[in-house]
Amino acid sequence: MSNYKEISDTMKQIKKNLKKNKSIEELLNKNEYKKGGAPFFDPYNIMKQYLDKIFVNENQLKKEQEDSLERLTKIREYEKIKDDEEKKQQDFEEENSMLAKNEENFQKAKENAKQIEDKAEIVKQETDEALKKLEDANKEVSDSQSHVNIVESNNKIVEDAIRIKKENIKNADNIMQNILKKMNNKELVSLEETNETIEENDAINEIKQLSISNVLEKKNDDLLI
């Protein structure tokens, strides 16, 4: 019984000392816990082994907690790295998507520019054709005006010829009237003078007719050209 009582007392003292945060040596101070009992029973060694197990378990628990904390830190670091990589991948994909979209927009812009260029070429061709038609129309109008001018000029020449012819006829009639007048007045009229006057008038008329013919021929040549 004494051995059990000693163990019980020892346990009580250990609990008190544990509350005071004493070390193992202090808890198992040989001055406080005396050996006793049977030779095979040593309360000191029993309690020391018991406390060693407690402290070993506590240290192991702390080590496990530290390992767990380290593992948790590494896991968090890994998760952060993973998140960063995922973010980079997402940014990369978004950038590629944006580049692809920009490329698509660029291709559409090129196609639109090509269509505008083609339309501009068509408009240019149509404008050139319209200008050519306008130029041809102006030339036709100019040619028509030239033709009208030539016709009017020819008409004037014909009118001048008719007028000259009428004047020649009138001159011839006047000459005849003068001759008759002289004959009625019983003036001696030399036949030679009369012939000279007639020949002179004929020469004048011939020159006038030649001039008219030359002008008409020239105008006809202009019309043919």
Q: Cα–Cα distance between 16 and 18 in angstroms, integer?
A: 5
Which two structure tokens, joined as six digits, stand for 35? 């050996």
What is the DSSP annotation of 102-153? HHHHHHHHHHHHHHHHHHHHHHHHHHHHHHHHHHHHHHHHHHHHHHHHHHHH
* pTM score, whole prediction: 0.32
Helix (H) or strand (E) holding 204, with range, is helix 191-224
In this prediction, residue 224 carries a pLDDT of: 47
Q: Cα–Cα distance between 152 and 139 in angstroms, integer?
A: 19
Domains of the chain, by residue range, sit at: 2-83, 147-224
In this prediction, residue 50 carries a pLDDT of: 67
In this prediction, residue 123 carries a pLDDT of: 81
In this prediction, residue 134 carries a pLDDT of: 78
Residue type, 118: D
Per 3-state DSSP, the chain is made up of helix, strand and coil in percentages (nearest 5) of 90, 0, 10
Report mean pLDDT in 10-residue bins for the chain, 225 residues: 59 63 54 46 63 64 78 84 85 83 82 82 82 78 71 74 73 69 56 52 56 51 48
